Amino acid sequence: MVELRIRDASEADIPALIRLYREAGIEDSGFTDDEARAHFAVLRGYPYYRIFAAESNGAIAGTYALIILDSLAKRGARAGVVENVAVLPAHQGAGIGRAMMQHALGECRAAGCYKMTLSSNLKREGAHHFYDSLGFERHGYSFLMKL
């Protein structure tokens, strides 16, 4: 039986997270563990930027980041933005991604968000079907300008 626990990631998790990002195809820039540790310290200073680790039987098998944004529009309603969703390829299809998105929704509800959004590269059709299956609506367009 798979035991799954979703928790805040810690600095000690960085090597596992960087490996997970690489295996899932998210990170290929050569970001070292030391560079990631320094950046992790910066992120911890943000008002609400959390990285979560999903442990399956004691080992990190998935992760996602959640940013809660305050707004002056929508009567100040908050919005949640999910980023960097990754599950190790060997663990895909085991419900980890689904559990992480349910966890993210719970975090957004608890923070008083009126919506939770995420974006996905057009090439990732499998991910699109996954998000469709969770009840996400395809909404608008995502635009990118590389700098």
Specify if 99 maps to a domain: yes
Residue 64 near residue 84, CB atoms below 8 Å: yes
Q: If 0-12 CB within 10 Å is exposed, 13-18 middle and 19+ buried, where does residue 82 land?
A: buried
Specify if 127 maps to a domain: yes
- When divided into structural domains, the chain yields a total of 1
Specify if 66 maps to a domain: yes
At what angle are helices 33-43 and 14-23 packed, to 10 degrees? 110
First to last CA, the chain: 46
Specify if 145 maps to a domain: no
Q: Which residues constitute the domain of residue 34?
A: 4-133
Query: What pLDDT score was predicted for residue 42?
Result: 95
- The CATH number given to whatever domain includes residue 17 is 3.40.630.30
pTM of the model: 0.90
Specify if 26 maps to a domain: yes
For the chain (147 residues), the mean pLDDT of every run of 10, in chain order, is: 87 93 83 90 94 95 96 89 93 93 97 92 84 88 82
Distance, in Å, from the CA atom of 48 to the CA atom of 46, rounded to the nearest integer, reads 6
Query: What are φ and ψ of residue 94, in 5° steps?
Result: -100, 5
Amino acid 138 reads R
Specify if 139 maps to a domain: no
Residue 104 near residue 80, CB atoms below 8 Å: yes
Specify if 102 maps to a domain: yes
Query: What pLDDT score was predicted for residue 96?
Result: 95
Query: What pLDDT score was predicted for residue 76?
Result: 85
Amino acid 21 reads Y
Specify if 40 maps to a domain: yes
